[in-house]
């Protein structure tokens, strides 16, 4: 038994950890099923385990807000986040549960833009945001950034969940099935484009994307980090014009307590995994150190900052 303890301690010290139950294991929070974060997490898991000797990544399902809370509470060490909610959480300026400072969160790398999309069944009579009133409205459970944005969109439109027939699901797949069965009429989610879940829905039913340009300024009053982004025509079947929606960014966050050398190697491995990740989401082909180092209002982990400095990029 003594030999086992010594061996475990050796692995522990090699990784630079001090005090965790399992030195060689880092818990990675990903996202809901049928989203991009689960397969992207798989690619990063492979890259990180190759980059850091003895490191083992345990992938766990999650969501934007839930991931930040998990790291803050010591239930995970690294994960995907959304810039809008991470910045709110770190500052403690968001809506509950982001109204308390999350001071154990450090930024690692920005990856790609996200698109908050609202898709309606073509025969649902929903062509504008105002027309969602009284309709079946599928979104994610609380703890997911998509659900928070859905709430914001309804709010600036003059509605709450009481004005729609809301369904909160843990997976995009469940929401799509509700749409296919016509139990729901509108599906709201934040992800990349084209979203596989929307493509799945479009294979069974005609759909319409709802434009959000009219609510951009009111949305910015809620959170200045919201962007107005464009889903180009032809992204989805029978989409014959550009559609403007609310946007933000996906990034990688880590516990500030993770060892500097470990995060340094993991940051380098993110760029090294660009080709593999771009097979899942083409937007990642554009990834550069400069994009990764974008200032989102969250301090960088010292290990990440060291890597960016070597690339000639000064970060905070």
Q: What is the DSSP string of 38-102?
A: HHHHHHHHHHHHHHSTT-EEEEE---HHHHHHHHHTTS-SEEEEEHHHHHHHHHT-SSTTTTS--
- Domains in the chain, please, with CATH? 2-112+251-310 (3.40.190.10), 115-248 (3.40.190.10)
How much is the pLDDT for 238? Answer: 93
More confident residue, 72 or 296: 72
Q: Which residues touch 17 (CB under 8 Å, ≥6 apart)?
A: 23, 259
Residue 224: per-residue pLDDT: 80
Q: Is the pLDDT of residue 72 over 70?
A: yes
pLDDT band at 316 (very low <50, low <70, confident <90, very high): confident
Give the bridge partners for 168, in sequence order.
Answer: 139
Predicted local distance difference test score (pLDDT) of residue 35: 81
Over residues 235-255, mean pLDDT: 97
CB-based contact 149:218 (threshold 8 Å): no
pLDDT the model gives residue 2: 35
> How confident is the prediction for the chain on average, in pLDDT?
91
How far is the C-alpha of 56 from the C-alpha of 289, rounded, in Å? 25
**Mean pLDDT, rounded, for 287-302:** 95
pLDDT tens figures, 131-161: 999 999 999 998 688 999 999 999 999 999 9
pLDDT category at 20 given cuts 50, 70, 90 is very low
Q: Identify the pLDDT of residue 22.
A: 46
pTM for this predicted structure: 0.78
- The average pLDDT across 198-221 equals 96
pLDDT for res 99: 85
Which among 145, 74, 130 is positioned nearest to 103, based on CA atoms?
74
- Residue 246: phi and psi, rounded to 5, are -80, 135
- Four-residue CA torsion sign, 28, 34, 39, 42: positive
Confidence of residue 297 (pLDDT cuts 50, 70, 90): confident
Rounded to an integer, the average pLDDT of 81-103 is 88
- Please name the residues in contact with 197: beta carbons below 8 A apart, sequence gap of 6 or more: 34, 35, 172, 173, 175, 176, 187, 189, 191
Instruction: State residue 196's pLDDT score.
Output: 92
Please say if the pLDDT value at position 77 is more than 80.
Answer: yes
Q: How does 30-60 read in b/e, with b if 16+ C-beta sit within 10 Å? A: bbbebbbbbbbbbbbbebbbebbeebebebb
Checking if the pLDDT of 116 tops 70, the result is yes
Neighbours of 261 (CB within 10 A): 14
**What is the pLDDT, as a whole number, of residue 11?**
36
Per the CB < 8 A criterion, the answer to whether 32 and 63 are in contact is yes
**Lowest-confidence pick of 23-32, 73-82, 302-311:** 23-32
Q: How far is CA 59 from CA 107, 164, 200, 288, in A?
A: 19, 35, 25, 25
Report whether 170 contacts 32 (CB < 8 A). yes
Residues 42/59, Cβ–Cβ less than 8 Å: yes
pLDDT band, residue 12 (cuts 50/70/90): very low
């Amino acid at each position: 038994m003594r030999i086992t303890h010594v061996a475990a301690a050796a692995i522990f010290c090699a990784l630079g950890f001090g005090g965790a139950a399992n030195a060689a294991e880092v818990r990675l929070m990903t996202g809901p099923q049928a989203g991009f974060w689960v397969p992207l997490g798989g690619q990063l898991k492979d890259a990180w385990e190759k980059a850091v000797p003895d490191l083992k990544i345990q992938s766990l399902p999650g969501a934007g807000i839930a991931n930040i809370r998990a790291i803050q509470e010591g239930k995970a060490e690294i994960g995907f986040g959304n810039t809008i909610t991470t910045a709110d959480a770190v500052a403690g300026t968001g809506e509950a549960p982001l109204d308390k400072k999350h001071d154990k969160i450090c930024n690692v790398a920005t990856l790609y833009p996200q698109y908050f999309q609202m898709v309606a069944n073509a025969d649902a009579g929903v062509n504008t945001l105002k027309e969602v009133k009284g309709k079946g409205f599928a979104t994610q459970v609380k703890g997911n950034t998509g659900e928070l944005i859905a709430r914001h969109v309804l709010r600036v439109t003059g509605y709450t969940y009481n004005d729609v027939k809301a369904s909160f699901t843990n997976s995009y797949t469940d929401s799509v099935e509700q749409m296919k069965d016509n139990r729901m009429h509108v599906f709201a989610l934040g992800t990349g484009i084209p979203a596989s879940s929307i493509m799945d829905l479009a294979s069974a039913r005609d759909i319409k994307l709802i434009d959000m340009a009219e609510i951009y300024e009111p949305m910015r009053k809620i959170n200045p980090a919201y962007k107005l982004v464009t889903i180009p025509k032809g992204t989805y079947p029978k989409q014959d014009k550009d559609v403007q929606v609310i946007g933000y960014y996906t990034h990688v966050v880590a516990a500030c307590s993770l060892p500097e050398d470990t995060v340094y190697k993991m940051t380098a491995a993110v760029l090294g995994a660009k080709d593999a990740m771009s097979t899942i989401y083409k937007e990642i082909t554009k990834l550069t150190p400069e994009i990764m180092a974008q200032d989102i209002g969250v301090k960088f982990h010292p290990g990440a900052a060291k890597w960016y400095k070597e690339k000639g990029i000064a970060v905070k």
